[in-house]
Amino acid sequence: MRAGWYEKNGPAEEVIVVGDMPTPEAGPGEVLVRLHASGISPSDYKKRGNAKGGMEFPRIVPHSDGAGVVAALGVGVSGLTTGQRVWVFNGQWERPYGTAADYIVLPAFQVRPLPDGMSFAEGACLGIPAMTSHRAVFMDGPVRGQWVYVPGAAGRVGSYAVQWAKWGGARVIGECGSADKARIVEALGAERVILRGKDDPVASILDMTGGMGADRIIEIEFGGNMPVNERIIAEGGVIASYASAKAPKATISVSPRRARNMSMHFVHCYTMNDAAKDAAAADIAKAAAGFIHRIAGIVPLAELARAHRDAENQSGTGQMVVEIP
């Protein structure tokens, strides 16, 4: 089979190789998937470029997300059929070979039917972005009637968070960095959009919510945004954070937050429990075909190094997808 891989850490153009590897076979309880699209997440290119972190395995085929068709079923697998269109998640988590290849073998739990009407490229966005945002929005229960604030509303995870919250019956406030992105966020379903660097987020959110604040905050920059979030969190409100790259530490004023019964959660898609993954997959089956899937670009497997470079250089424009014809 064709695959892209690296055997040492470093810049994409220096370490990524595209060539031939043996095709894996499905064992008991496993599914062999012929992939047609592979999604690149920040963890993929950060892991590849992290020379200090070292190699988990002698050779790594990157990427955890993808979509394709079932090529073969291992003994004991039910609920799927050969030739069925599917999407997969956690492909390279604690495993050497991910979805940047013609084929992948995974436990049946990690292979789900692709909703009707969705392309393989869209299916390659359903793993980390859609599942992370689902968990962040719904981990404290239904959001119907609540105010949900999404600071990174135009990004990979944030764009799904806006749509999940809207689908769940919430009123959504999105934040982004430009007027062009604001129009996108409105199309995703946000009732109001705050322009970063132009609008005052505290005054805007308190005004929008009648002084009550946001019931849930789906946070891309936990540490950096805490000074704002402490001022706009509602009574009994929740902050669910999936990232904090710019400010990995946060200073929290405990007494006022305790008085408001505020809670905080941290979401890591790879290690979510199986019940949370099942819940996300079940709702994806119900709703995702009607969602807008933010794809930043589609690059062929033969140009995997360029795809990684493009993924590193784009921000807030969506998911980079690798096409595998």
Q: Are residues 13 and 35 in the same domain?
A: yes
* Model confidence pLDDT, tens digit, residues 184-214: 999 999 999 999 999 999 999 999 999 999 9
Residue 115 and residue 133 in one domain: no
Which CATH number fits the domain that encloses residue 119? Answer: 3.90.180.10
- What confidence category does residue 15 fall into, taking pLDDT thresholds of 50, 70 and 90? very high
Please report the pLDDT score of residue 258 as a whole number: 65
H-run or E-run covering 127? none
Total structural domains within the chain: 2
DSSP string, 278-315: HHHHHHHHHHGGGS---EEEEEEGGGHHHHHHHHHH--
**pLDDT tier for residue 274 given thresholds of 50, 70 and 90:** very high
Over range 157-169, report the average pLDDT: 98
Asked, for residue 285, whether it belongs to a domain, the answer is: no
Kindly state whether residue 283 falls inside one of the protein's structural domains. no
The answer to the question of residue 111 being in a domain is yes
Per-residue pLDDT tens digits for 42-56: 999 999 998 778 899
> Within the chain, what is the greatest distance between any pair of CA atoms?
61
- 92 lies in some domain: yes
Is residue 287 domain-resident? no
What is the separation, in whole angstroms, between the first and last Cα of the chain?
A: 12
What pTM does this model have? 0.95
- Taking 80 as the threshold, does the pLDDT of residue 154 lie above it? yes
Sign of the CA dihedral running 119, 156, 48, 305: positive
- Is 256 found in the same domain as 237? yes
Same domain, 180 and 213: yes
Q: Are 73 and 146 part of one and the same domain?
A: no
Residues 133, 121 share a domain? no
In this predicted model, what pLDDT tens digit does every residue of 277-306 receive, in sequence order?
A: 999 999 999 999 999 999 999 999 999 999
The one-character DSSP state at 97 is B
pLDDT digits (tens, 9 = 90+) for 71-98: 999 999 999 999 999 999 999 999 999 9
Are residues 239 and 262 in contact, defined by beta-carbon separation less than 8 angstroms? yes
- What is the reported pLDDT for 256? 67
Same domain, 200 and 105: no
Helix (H, G, I), strand (E, B) or coil at 248: coil
116 & 137 share domain: no
- Are 224 and 171 contained in the same domain? yes
Structural domain span for residue 307:
2-125+293-323
111 plus 140 within the same structural domain: no
Q: Are residues 67 and 148 in the same domain?
A: no
State whether the Cα torsion 162-219-144-211 is positive or negative. Answer: negative
Q: Is the dihedral of CA 163, 168, 171, 175 positive or negative?
A: negative
- Asked whether residue 18 carries a pLDDT value surpassing 80, the answer given is yes
pLDDT for position 157: 96
Which of 1, 220, 5, 2 is CA-nearest to residue 92?
A: 5
The pLDDT of residue 257 is: 60
DSSP 3-state percent helix, strand, coil across the chain (nearest 5): 35, 30, 40
Residues 263 and 316 in one domain: no
